[in-house]
């Protein structure tokens, strides 16, 4: 199940800035969709569990779709406390592939 980042916008306003999720958008510097097309699900799957033959994504790392239809990953900063290596690997992947990294407010105001 994918969640749209816009559905979190109003809830994000009510939270403290440090509790806002980081949005990694699957858009290349050339403005094209990042490949492979299932990158967000693959990345989020690293922390997912299976129950009743269904995948359940962790609230700390979830695939999403932005308002322009591009795949995204929602990364909760709390992951840095519980799994600092995973948190850093995700950010390193995004930087190495030149993916846009922003917070929920930035992602929703474009």
pLDDT digit string, tens, across residues 26-70: 998 999 999 999 999 999 998 999 999 999 999 999 999 988 899
CATH of the domain at 74: 3.30.70.2340
Question: Residues with Cβ < 8 Å from 17, sequence gap 6 or more?
Answer: 103
Instruction: Give CA angle at 31 (107, 80), nearest 5°.
Output: 45
Number of domains in the chain: 1
List the domain range (segments joined by +) for residue 20: 3-108
pTM check: above 0.85: no
Which whole-number Å values give the CA distances from 108 to 22, 51, 85, 88, in the listed order?
A: 12, 31, 28, 24
Q: Is the pLDDT of residue 1 over 80?
A: no
Mean of the per-residue pLDDT values of the chain: 81
């Amino acid at each position: 199940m994918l969640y749209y980042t816009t559905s979190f916008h109003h809830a994000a306003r009510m939270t403290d800035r440090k509790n806002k999720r980081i949005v990694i958008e699957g858009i290349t510097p050339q403005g094209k969709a990042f490949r492979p097309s299932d990158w967000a699900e693959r990345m989020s799957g690293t922390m997912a569990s299976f129950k009743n033959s269904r995948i359940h994504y962790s609230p700390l790392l979830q695939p999403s779709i932005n308002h322009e239809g591009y795949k995204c990953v929602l990364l909760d900063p709390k992951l840095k406390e519980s799994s600092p290596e995973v948190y850093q690997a995700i950010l390193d992947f995004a930087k190495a592939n030149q993916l846009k990294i922003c917070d929920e407010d930035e992602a929703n105001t474009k």
